[in-house]
Chains A and B, each alone.
Chain A
Amino acid sequence: MANINIKLKVWRQKDSQSKGQFEAYEVKQISTESSFLEMMDVLNEQLINDGNQPISFDHDCREGICGMCGLYINGRAHGPDLDVTTCQLHMRKFKDNDSITIEPWRAGGFPVIKDLMVDRSAFDKILQAGGFISVNTGGVPDANAIPISKDDAEEAMDAASCIGCGACVATCKNSSAMLFVSAKVSQLALLPQGRIEASRRAKNMLSAMDDLGFGNCTNTGACEVECPKGISVAHIARLNREFLVANLKD
């Protein structure tokens, strides 16, 4: 356990209408055992005690599963560690006297609403367009009536572990949302229950994605590296396949 001093450059923006700017801060004697957001808590406590405005950022579960946190730290979504969300990033990844630049997710589809908080409702809208299996509550068959191969279930689970944080969009040089869309399309396309409306789903979700101002995927693969859940771009290939086949049927 050690304590370090760090210099921060943080994006501050009053609201969605305002133009923002960077502000410089210093945090002294922060434990390397603390998480990045705990460091931000310490900074905010400092700001409040000095009569300043604390920095607004989204966060909730602080255990890497709710997908609410997401900061662009030193040029990387969720900062300099792999397979973690911002809340799981720990200060031991930084050295004494490091400078850290913190920016919000930047994408046309994710407008900034304050400081480091962005509006990710576009993701909800994409899922509302078809990211589900159309069954009502009740009246479904017994759970074991639909056998599913373990491999398919595992691959579907890989895709289903998406937490909707938006790191894929944030890190993509084109702000493309393909990894997010493909995770849901692929999960449901792999399962017999989901196959029934797979074509409809792929078309509707991609159409919603196109309408919401995300860019086009150029297969750089940066998204899967920065995805805190390590979701593979192989799911994007499946999405493309589903979409092509769906269009061929028309």
Chain B
Amino acid sequence: MSGFFKSSVGQKFLMSITGLFLIVFLLVHFTANFFLFFGSDAFNTVSHFMETNPIIQIMQPILAIGFLVHIIYSIILTIQNLKARPQKYVKFEQGHSSTWASRNMFILGSLIGIFLIMHIMNFFWKMKVSGSDLYTEVNVDGVMMHNSYALVTGLFTDASFGLVYSIAYILGAIFLGLHLSHAFWSAFQTIGWSNQVWRKRLEWIGNAYAIIIGVGFSIIPLYFLIFK
């Protein structure tokens, strides 16, 4: 195995394993967020579960490592790819032969990275480090827990920056959706789990997943912007 992680396919294997892991994470994340639509008690209960569940706590640093590996190897591989064509074409037509998203995964990833920093500042940082005026303790069915619902809705309904944040989150969701539209099948392809038959299925699932994540995460700010 020694040379494996130095090889092209080995490095891509890391990208795809971490990517698949992040795909699972996104699903969990989205499921939790979905409870926003059911009101503050529901969402706060889910958030409390996430805060206190030992498995989730163990997964948090692993998730962070997953992100880091995915980001670091994307940079390494992209630099190698740029070096592989020292002299560029004057004309380079790819519109008919590949999707825009597949050619711009690094750019999409970078944009998502920027979004991620903002996202962490908005929520994770406030929850874990700095605290917030909105992030108070509330009682839900006799259990004391943080008012995560207030923190989320407060961001999107903020009188001065609510609209800006909403747009930023919608854009973030769209970038994520595009990234996933290629990422899903691509991850399976790289670990060798694809063929002529499965490719179509995996691409279909990947697209459906990308739409669910992209649209789903967009609806949240829109919902609060419009209805609250």
User: Considering the chains assembled together, what is the distance between the CA atoms of A207 and B3 in angstroms?
Assistant: 9
Q: Known: A206-B7, A234-B196, A238-B192. Contact between A22 and B90, CB under 8 A?
A: yes
What 0/1 pattern do residues 97 to 111 of B give for CB contact below 8 A with A? 111001101000000
A136, CB-defined interface residue at 8 Å: no
A234 adjacent to B199 (CB under 8 Å)? yes
Residues from 150 to 203 in B contacting A, C-beta threshold 8 Å: 182, 185-186, 188-196, 199
In the bound complex, residues from chain A placing their C-beta under 8 Å from that of B13 are 240, 244
Is residue A152 contacting chain B, with contact meaning CB distance below 8 A?
no
Residues of A with C-beta under 8 A to B182: 219-220
Asked whether A103 lies within 8 Å of B91 as measured between CB atoms, the reply is yes
Instruction: Determine the distance from Cα of A163 to Cα of B118 in the docked complex, in whole angstroms.
Output: 50
Q: Are B91 and A215 in contact (CB-based, < 8 A)?
A: no
Contact A237 B99 (CB under 8 A): no
User: Is the Cβ of B97 less than 8 Å from the Cβ of A215?
Assistant: no
A240/B88 in contact, CB under 8 A: no
B residues near A174, Cβ cutoff 8 Å: 81, 84-85
Among candidates B88, B97, B193, residue contacting A237 with C-beta atoms closer than 8 Å: B193
Does A225 lie within 8 Å of B96, measured CB to CB? Answer: yes
Known contacts A225-B98, A234-B194, A237-B195; A207/B7 CB under 8 A? yes
Contact B190 A219, beta carbon cutoff 8 Å: yes
User: Is B136 an interface residue when CB atoms closer than 8 A count as contact?
Assistant: no
Number of interface residues of B (CB under 8 A): 46
The answer, yes or no, to whether A180 is at the interface (CB within 8 Å) is no
Most buried by A among B13, B83, B186, B190: B190
Q: Does A210 contact B (CB under 8 A)?
A: yes
Contacts of A88 in B (CB 8 A): none
What CA separation (Å) do A62 and B7 show in the bound complex? 37
Q: How many whole Å from B170's CB to the nearest CB in chain A?
A: 26
Answer yes or no: A217 CB below 8 A from chain B CBs: yes
Q: Does any Cβ of B come within 8 Å of A36's Cβ?
A: no
CB distance from B74 to the nearest CB of A (A): 10
Q: In whole angstroms, what is the CA distance A222 to B89 when docked?
A: 16
Which single member of A106, A225, A244 contacts B89 (CB below 8 Å)?
A106
In the assembled complex, the CB of A72 is this many whole angstroms from the nearest CB of chain B, namely 6
Q: Is B52 an interface residue (CB 8 A)?
A: no
Note all chain A residues with C-beta closer than 8 A to B8.
176, 206, 209-210, 214, 216-217
In the complex, A217 Cα to B80 Cα: how many Å?
11
Would B12 and A75 count as touching, CB distance under 8 A? no
Find chain B residues with CB under 8 A from A242 CB: 192
Chain B CB within 8 A of A250 CB: yes
What is the distance, in angstroms, from A53's C-beta to the closest C-beta of chain B?
21
Q: How far is the CB of A80 from chain B (nearest CB, A)?
A: 9
How far, in Å, is A84 (CB) from chain B's closest CB?
Answer: 14
| CB neighbours of A219 from chain B (8 A) | 102, 182, 185-186, 189-190
Which residues from 178 to 226 on chain A have a C-beta closer than 8 Å to any C-beta of chain B?
Answer: 206-207, 209-210, 213-222, 225-226
Residues of A within 8 Å of B105, CB to CB, are: 218
| Residue in B3, B87, B185, B191 whose CB lies within 8 Å of A240 | B191
Task: Given A74-B93, A108-B86, A232-B196, answer yes or no on A218-B9 (Cβ-Cβ < 8 Å).
Answer: no
CA of A221 to CA of B95, assembled, Å? 12
Q: Please, how many angstroms separate the alpha-carbon atoms of A97 and B215 in the complex?
A: 46
- The interface of chain B, by Cβ under 8 A from chain A, is 1-4, 7-13, 77, 80-81, 83-94, 96-99, 102-103, 105, 182, 185-186, 188-196, 199
Q: A106-B88, A106-B89, A220-B103 are in contact. List 6 more A-B contacts (CB 8 A).
A: A108-B83, A171-B97, A173-B81, A176-B84, A220-B102, A243-B192
* Chain A residues in the interface with B (C-beta under 8 A): 22, 72, 74-76, 101, 103, 106-109, 171, 173-176, 206-207, 209-210, 213-222, 225-226, 232-234, 236-244, 247-248, 250
12 pairs, CB–CB < 8 Å, chain A vs chain B: A72-B89, A101-B90, A106-B87, A216-B77, A216-B81, A234-B199, A238-B195, A240-B189, A243-B7, A247-B4, A247-B10, A248-B1
